[in-house]
Structure 1
Amino acid sequence: MSNEHITLTAGDAEVDVLPGNGGRVGGLRVGGVELLRQGERYGCFPMVPWCGRIREGRFQDGATVRQMPLNAPPHAIHGTARDAAWSVARKSTDEAVLTYDLTDPWPYPGRVTQQVVLGEDALTLTMSVETYESSFPAQIGWHPWFNRDLGGADVSIGFAPAWQEERGEDHLPTGRRTDPQAGPWDDCFGMPGGVDVTLTWPELLELRVTSREEWVVVYDEQREAVCVEPQTGPPDGLNTHPRLVTPLEPLEASTTWTWTRL
C-alpha cells in the first residue's frame, strides 16, 4: 500500500496522483491554475468495479444475487476502489501506473490497473479489470470534479448526446430513453460515437473529455463543481448492461482530457 503523493509534469501541466486515497487524481494544474475541485473526496476518482448507483445494492450474476453495502442508501454507489489504497506499479516524470486487487465486499477476485499519462496538452486515464478465476460483471468509469469557476470564468458544458436515460425518482434509469433535456443534470446520456463533452471557461481554457465508451453521466447540480463521467455502462449497469470480465477478456476503458488556451 502506498500513501505517497506522486506529481507528474509535462510542459506547464502538473497532475497529482494519490494512490493511498482511492487511486484518484488529486489535482490538475495548467499554467498554475487548478482545474479540479480540491478535497479528500474530490479530484477525479476511478469508479470500479461499478459506476453510479446499483439499485438497492443488489445485482444478479446468473442465478446468484449479490448484495453490496448501501453506501448511498437505499443504493450502493461508485464501486469499492475509491475507498481503498492502491499500489504503485511504476512511475516516471509523466506517467504513473497503479494497481488495486479487488477484495471484500466485492465477491470476486480480480485486479484493477490504472495508467495515468500526462502530456503538455492532454491527460489520458486508462483502466482495466482482469481475472484469472471466475468471470463476473463489472464496469469502469471516472468521476472528475471540475471547478465551475476559474478566476471569474464560469464554465459552460457543450455536448450533443443521441439520447438521455430517463431518470426515475430513485435517481436510476427507468430503461426508457428520451430526447436530451435541458439541465441542471444528474443524468446519464448516450453518445454512440464515443463520449465527447467540451467544458469552456470563457477567455481562459477549453477542455474536451473524450472516450470510446458511449455512456456519460453529467452532474452540474453543485455550485462548486461540474462532473463529466465517461463510463462503460449506465447507472445500475451491472443489472441492465452487464459487461463480463473473463480470464480471456479483461474489461478495458480509457478517457482523454485535452485542453486549449483561449
Structure 2
Amino acid sequence: MRDVVLRAGDVRVTVSPALGGRLSALTIDGIDVLVPGAGHGSFPMAPWCGRTADGLVHLPDHDVRLPINNGPHAIHGTVRDAAWDVTSVSETAVSMACELVEPWPFRGRVTQELSLAPTHLDLSMTVTTHAGPFPAQVGWHPWFATTLVDGAPRATLEFTADWQEERVAMIPTGRRLPVGPPPWDDCFGMPGGVAVAVIWPGQLRVDVTSPAEWVVVFNERPEAVCVEPQSGPPNGLNSAPRIVTVDDPLHMSSRWAWRRLRSTG
C-alpha cells in the first residue's frame, strides 16, 4: 500500500497506511518537523494509549490479557502495527480505517481522518463496536524533532496544566500533583482542553490542541519531544474506562497549528 501525500501551500504531509496509519512526515517550507523512520513520525494509539499496567484489563467478570511490549506493561494499542485501508483521499485530506482484531478481544473498527490546510492539520479518530460494549482509548503520538536545522536552537515546550499524575513503575496512581520540572515522561490534566506549544526559537511554533483533557509529554530523548493528546490517562482502561457501545462510539479530535517565527529556510 503506497503512501498518501497531502499538500496545502508550502506544507506537505506524508501518510503511511501500511505502517500503522502514521504520519511519516510533516514538512513545512521544506523542513521536516517530525523525526523520520520506523516507530517515529506520528502514530495513532488505539484501542488504548500509553501503558496498561501488567498488560491486564480488569473487567467486571474477567481480566483481558494484552501483549506485553514495554517492560511489564502493554503500550500504545494495536493499530500502530496494523495496515490501514484508505477509504477516501483528496489533495488535502485522507480517511482510513482499521479493524480491531487479535490480540484485542473485542470486535470493532477504528477510523481516522486527516485534513490539511496551509496553517494547520486537523486529526480525528473514532472507535466503533461491531457487537458488544468494550472499554477503549484513542490518541496520537507525534515525535517532533528537537532541532529543525543543524546548529539551530532546540525545541522548547510551553503549557499550563492543572495537575501532573503521580506515577509508580510508569503507571499513574490517581494522585494528582503540582506540575514538576522536566524532563518528563508524564501525564498531565487539562480539563479545559489540551494546549501545548512546541517552539523552535526564531523558527517555528506548533500548537497542539484538543478538546480532550489528557496529554502525555515526553522529552527524555535528545532527538525528539512528544506531545500526545489522549482521551484518557495511561492505564485508563482500568482507572477511567470509556465504554464504547453501538449507540455511543468514542470520538476524539486534535489540531496542530503552526506559525513561522521567521523563514525556516
Q: Is the counterpart of residue 253 in structure 1 residue 252 in structure 2? A: yes
Matches within 5 A, 1:116-127: 116-127=114-125
The 5 Å alignment of 1:198-209 reads 198-209=197-208
Alignment-derived partner of residue 79 in structure 2: 81
Percent of residue pairs identical: 49
Can you list the C-alpha shifts for 1:199-254, whole angstroms capped at 9, x where unaligned? Answer: 11111101100000000000000000000000001000000000010000100001
User: Structure 1: how far apart are the matches of 2:108 and 2:243?
Assistant: 12
* CA displacement at 1:67 relative to structure 2: 0.3
Asked whether the 8 Å contact 1:127–1:253 carries over to 2, the reply is yes
Conserved 8 A contact 1:29-1:35: yes
User: In 1, distance between residues paired with 2:243 and 2:80?
Assistant: 21
What corresponds to 1:51 in structure 2? 49
Does structure 2 retain, via aligned residues, the 8 Å contact 1:7–1:17? yes
The TM-score normalised by the length of structure 1 is 0.98
Q: Distance in 1 between matches of 2:236 and 2:115?
A: 28
Letter in 1 for 2:121: L
Q: Distance in 2 between matches of 1:153 and 1:94?
A: 31
**Equivalence map 1:234-245=2 (5 Å):** 234-245=233-244
List gaps (5 residues or longer) in structure 1: none
* Residue 108 of structure 2: aligned partner: 110
Superposed, 1:15-164 pairs within 5 Å as 15-151=13-149, 152-164=152-164
* Structure 2 residue aligned with 1:180: 179
CA distance in 2, matches of 1:61, 1:153: 48
Any idea what the Cα deviations from partners look like across 1:103-156, whole Å, max 9, x if unmatched? Answer: 000000001000011010101110000013000000001000000011113101
Equivalent position SS for 1:49? coil
Cα shift at 1:63: 1.3
Shift of 1:61: 2.3
Q: Distance in 2 between matches of 1:61 and 1:9?
A: 44
Contact 1:193 1:214 in 2 (8 A): yes
Amino acid at match of 1:111: R
Q: Do the aligned partners of 1:214 and 1:232 also contact (CA within 8 Å) in 2?
A: yes
Instruction: Give the Å deviation of 1:62.
Output: 2.1
* Pairwise CA RMSD: 0.6
- Counterpart Cα distance in 2 of 1:129 and 1:173: 24
CA contact (8 A) 1:61 1:136 kept: no
Asked whether the 8 Å contact 2:109–2:130 carries over to 1, the reply is no
How does 1:191-202 map onto structure 2 within 5 Å? Answer: 191-202=190-201
- Number of residue pairs matched? 259
1:228 aligns with 2:227: yes
Counterpart among 8, 11, 17 of residue 10 in structure 1: 8
Q: Displacement, 1:76? A: 0.3
